[in-house]
Amino acid sequence: MADKKILALIDELEKNKTLSDNDFLFLLSQLKHADEETENYLYTKADTVRRKTYGIDVYLRGLIEFTNHCKNDCYYCGIRRSNTNVSRYRLTKDEILDCCKTGYEIGYRTFVLQGGEDAYYTDEKVCDLITAIKKQFSDCALTLSIGEKSYESYKKYYDAGADRYLLRHETADPEHYRRLHPEELSGEFRKNCLYQLKEIGYQVGCGIMVGSPGQTDLHILKDLRFMQELQPHMIGIGPFIPSAGTPMHDQPAGTLEDTLHLLSILRLMFPQVLLPATTALGTIHPTGRELGIKAGANVVMPNLSPTGVRDKYLLYDGKICTGDKAEECRHCMEGRMKRNGYQVVVSRGDYPETR
Ligand code: SAH
């Protein structure tokens, strides 16, 4: 029997797009042992809300992992600088443009350049890359996900034509941030980057790993409050998955259920937000991404990186699709969505008010 109090809180969240601190904490704690009826109530409500803005459309983002060199040493991340087992690579400008060309031909209209924080890619090189991509694919959106930079650098990339920026804040709580990152990194600095990106005019995405080591419901509450303050256009969440060669290799992974619950909560709080069902979610469960879409997500980010480097961009263990070609990923995704009553669309997939 579903608990009426929880169902009432879900209704209230849909109506007011927020709850009191106590009610959020109560909801998060109760959802951990919710029955199927309660879960379905939450997922269906979130799906109904996403359909009001996006119908059954699912936006595609072609992810190009162009460098796995990183100067940072985040305790959870497989490509941290101290992980000596990683075979490091960088794609050349031509290789990246080739990825975009392949992607364009199979219907991608957004490219995401993601990488470690790699000093080889100076602002000049990044801007040159942005200019070349936007010149050749002028009807496409370009998203950067290359970490923390100065205001000036972000401005240069924007002026060169970058449209969006993904920078997960990872956790809004300073102590939890410290548990996940070495001394030289600061959560406050990272949050400030997001405000700067927004001020410059980017569509911005923040986000967290669900079930990262030491994460509590109170931390998640702080994340939700931070998101309410930032008002991001995109929110990237996926389960934490341990990675060999990191200090957190023996920590438990985040769960499918916790991630789905949070996706639905975010959809109810931010009806129009662009919300990916991530590769990490597809890694911990064979149909994790489909379940994510049914729980309120509306974006998927198939891999466009060349097959030769895919198994080198391992942020965590067991990452899926490392052997597939771009075309295979695209068609696989189309089928997965179709079988569940959704459709992938050929579109830039902008945030509604910026279309
Ligand atoms: N260097 C860029 C891109 C980071 S990789 C940046 O700083 O933003 C993108 C995201 O992968 C990270 O923000 C993190 O949330 C996630 N990630 C890293 N390691 C992970 C792990 N072990 N499990 C799940 N997600 C992970």
Quote the percentage of the chain above a pLDDT of 70: 99
Tell the residue number behind the tokens 């830039």, with chain if given.
348
Task: Read off the DSSP letter of residue 352.
Answer: G
Grouping H, G, I as helix, E, B as strand and the rest as coil, residue 281 is: helix
Q: How confident is the model at residue 185 (pLDDT cuts 50, 70, 90)?
A: very high
Q: How confident is the model at residue 2 (pLDDT cuts 50, 70, 90)?
A: confident
In this structure, the residues whose C-beta lies within 6 A of any atom of ligand 1 are: 76-77, 114, 116-117, 145-147, 167-168, 170, 209, 238, 240-241, 243, 280, 315-316
Q: How confident is the model at residue 24 (pLDDT cuts 50, 70, 90)?
A: very high
163 with 142: CB under 8 angstroms? yes
Q: Whose CA is nearest to atom 12 of ligand 1?
A: 168
Q: What separation in Å is there between the alpha carbon of 339 and the centre of ligand 1?
A: 29
**Average pLDDT in the 245-263 region?**
98
Q: From CA 163, how far away is CA 214, in angstroms rounded?
A: 34
Q: Output the CA–CA distances (angstroms, integers) from residue 324 to 56, 59, 243, 304, 308, in the order listed.
A: 26, 20, 21, 10, 10
Q: Which of 164, 168, 171 to mutate to test the pocket of ligand 1 (most atoms within 8 A of CB)?
A: 168
Q: Whose CA is nearest to atom 8 of ligand 1?
A: 147
306-347: pLDDT as tens digits = 999 999 999 999 999 998 899 999 999 999 999 999 999 999
Q: From CA 234, how far away is CA 198, in angstroms rounded?
A: 12
Task: Read off the DSSP letter of residue 275.
Answer: -
Instruction: Return the pLDDT at 353.
Output: 81
Residue with the bigger pLDDT between 83 and 1: it is 83
Q: Which of 209, 283, 320 to mutate to test the pocket of ligand 1 (most atoms within 8 A of CB)?
A: 209
Q: Whose CA is nearest to atom 25 of ligand 1?
A: 240
Q: What separation in Å is there between the alpha carbon of 35 and the centre of ligand 1?
A: 31
Q: Which atom of ligand 1 is nearest to the CA of 114?
A: 3
Q: From CA 114, how far away is CA 168, in angstroms rounded?
A: 12
Q: Which atom of ligand 1 is nearest to the CA of 170?
A: 15
- pLDDT exceeds 70 at position 355: no
Q: Whose CA is nearest to atom 10 of ligand 1?
A: 168
Q: From CA 201, how far away is CA 140, in angstroms rounded?
A: 17
Q: How confident is the model at residue 66 (pLDDT cuts 50, 70, 90)?
A: very high
State the virtual CA torsion across 128, 131, 132, 136 in degrees, nearest 10: 180
Q: What separation in Å is there between the alpha carbon of 89 and the centre of ligand 1?
A: 17
Q: How confident is the model at residue 1 (pLDDT cuts 50, 70, 90)?
A: low
Q: Which atom of ligand 1 is nearest to the CA of 70?
A: 1
38-55: pLDDT as tens digits = 999 999 999 999 999 999
Question: Got the DSSP string for 199-239?
Answer: HHT-EEEEEEEET-TT--HHHHHHHHHHHHHH--SEEEEEE
Q: Whose CA is nearest to atom 7 of ligand 1?
A: 147
